[in-house]
Amino acid sequence: MNTAELFKQFLTGLSAETLPVALKKLLIDAVAAVFASAGLPLPEWALAVLSAFITIVTIMMLFLGLFALTSVLERKILARMQNRLGPNRVGPWGLFQFVADGIKMLTKEDIVPREADHVVHFLAPVVMVVPALLGCAILPYGRGMAPVDLQSGVLFFFAMSAGTEIALFMAGWSSNNKYSVLGAMRAIAQMISYEGPLVVSAVAVAMISGSLSPVAIAEAQGGWTLGVLPHWYALTPWGFAGCVLFYMGALAESKRSPFDLPEGESELVAGHLTEYSGFKYATFFMAEYVGLFVINGLLVTLFLGGWQAPCEFLQFIPSWCWFMAKLVLVAYSMIWVRATVPRFRIDHMMQFAWKFMLPMSFASMLSAAFWHYAGRGFPAWTLSAVLVVAPYFTLGNMFGGPADARRRNYRYSE
């Protein structure tokens, strides 16, 4: 089959919904045709490897592109919200600032402390970025566009995210610096604390959908009431609570403001990143941004319907466009939070996780069980709402009482 016939076949039945899949098939067929014309037909396993390679490269380009663009847009948005200019020199409106930053990081000298563990110091950023990239594989980017449809995809995601804590410990310990070790310990304690609410919130979704597959969870949220009210879990009492808890847990897992205590510059310089420079330093930030988008993608899948359109009459827009639009909106909201919410104190942050968020996540899971077994009708909604609102006010009064609000007395050396 020549190039003209391949392109004609590509255009036949092409739609915006299937455009990414069709482009991938066209590329595979073109490569197979080139080898066949040379008398070297590709076997099935080679075509499967080629398909996986194209998928991996596409996903990496997508998330690395989002990382580069977000690193500039975040600074522009923060500047706009705080009445500043932000980057405005490199390229039109400063949009090519990430190119200058990338060149600087690639050419900057890599300085490693003399007493550091050089091997572990080098491996830490590598171990940091691998779990973030592996998490991209289980997200359903559109209808029929999940790279790997794992039946235990949600469990796989949380298992992979545990590798991030190992990387942080490697970075802090190998630097042989007290600030780095303290920053790493803070980060690990914070991530372990907030993984509890994250996992319990996801368990509630798995209970209702009956699956740990992100694809099945997104499909379970299909349909609309009267054509305008989607069946997203975030629009139920238990789902709204779980979505908010998952959102705050995602902020903490990504070490974003107001949970950026591990890199508190006024206390720990840069935490576990203190002894890193150049490309290694950039790799840590790349892993954090990619991990942020991946966990936001999981939030969209679990609570916001994944690729499902918000209204029935908007289904003509491709499903992958809806997924990316929701992902960008959630990321924008996190930038907004960073611009407006001040940093927590370390003891308040840990108390918030264990005394409020974890009990609320169990209340959300209990509410989801009652919502399901009560028939998912109006009485179920009422009971589910009560089981969420009552613990919220009870825990809020307990957590924000006079004991936590009293003034602390600091003693300084004479």
Residue 412: the pLDDT is: 61
Residue 38, helix vs strand vs coil:
coil
Closest C-alpha to 287, from 182, 142, 171? 171
Q: Which helix (DSSP H) or strand (DSSP E) does residue 132 occupy?
A: helix 118-135
pLDDT tier for residue 253 given thresholds of 50, 70 and 90: confident
Residue 229, helix vs strand vs coil:
strand
Model pLDDT for residues 177-215, shown as the tens digit of each residue: 888 888 888 888 888 888 889 999 999 999 999 889 999
pLDDT tier for residue 246 given thresholds of 50, 70 and 90: very high
In angstroms, the CA 76 to CA 88 distance is: 9
- Is the model's pLDDT at 304 over the cut of 60? yes
Is pTM beyond 0.85? Reply is yes
- Is the model's pLDDT at 414 over the cut of 60? no
Residue 116: the pLDDT is: 82
pLDDT tier for residue 408 given thresholds of 50, 70 and 90: low
Residue 53: the pLDDT is: 87
Determine contact, residues 215/140, Cβ cutoff 8 Å. yes
Model pLDDT for residues 319-351, shown as the tens digit of each residue: 889 999 999 999 999 989 988 888 888 888 888
DSSP secondary structure, 294-327, as one string: HHHHHHHHHHS-TT--SSGGGTTS-HHHHHHHHH
In angstroms, the CA 370 to CA 204 distance is: 11
Model pLDDT for residues 34-78, shown as the tens digit of each residue: 888 887 787 888 888 888 888 888 888 888 888 888 888 888 888
User: What's the whole-number average pLDDT of the chain?
Assistant: 84
Pull the structure tokens for residue 150: 């794992």
- Is the model's pLDDT at 298 over the cut of 90? yes
Residue 269: the pLDDT is: 67
Between these two residues, 227 and 148, which has the higher pLDDT value? 148
241-264 residues labelled b (16+ CB within 10 A) or e (exposed): bbbbbbbbbbbbbbbbbbbbbbbb
- Is the model's pLDDT at 365 over the cut of 60? yes
Burial class (CB in 10 A: 0-12, 13-18, 19+), 42: middle
Report for 52-56, 174-178, 237-241, 270-274: range of highest mean pLDDT: 237-241
Residue 9: the pLDDT is: 55
Which of 2-11, 152-161, 299-308 is predicted with the least confidence, judged by mean pLDDT? Answer: 2-11
Give the DSSP letter of residue 147. S
Residue 5: the pLDDT is: 58
Residue 224, helix vs strand vs coil:
strand
Residue 145: the pLDDT is: 85
Residue 95: the pLDDT is: 84
Give the DSSP letter of residue 1. -
- Is the model's pLDDT at 280 over the cut of 70? yes
Average pLDDT, integer, range 401-410: 57
Write down the residue that tokens 């974003």 correspond to: 256
Residue 407: the pLDDT is: 62
Residue 204: the pLDDT is: 92
Closest C-alpha to 170, from 134, 125, 114? 125
- Is the model's pLDDT at 12 over the cut of 60? no
Average pLDDT, integer, range 98-126: 85
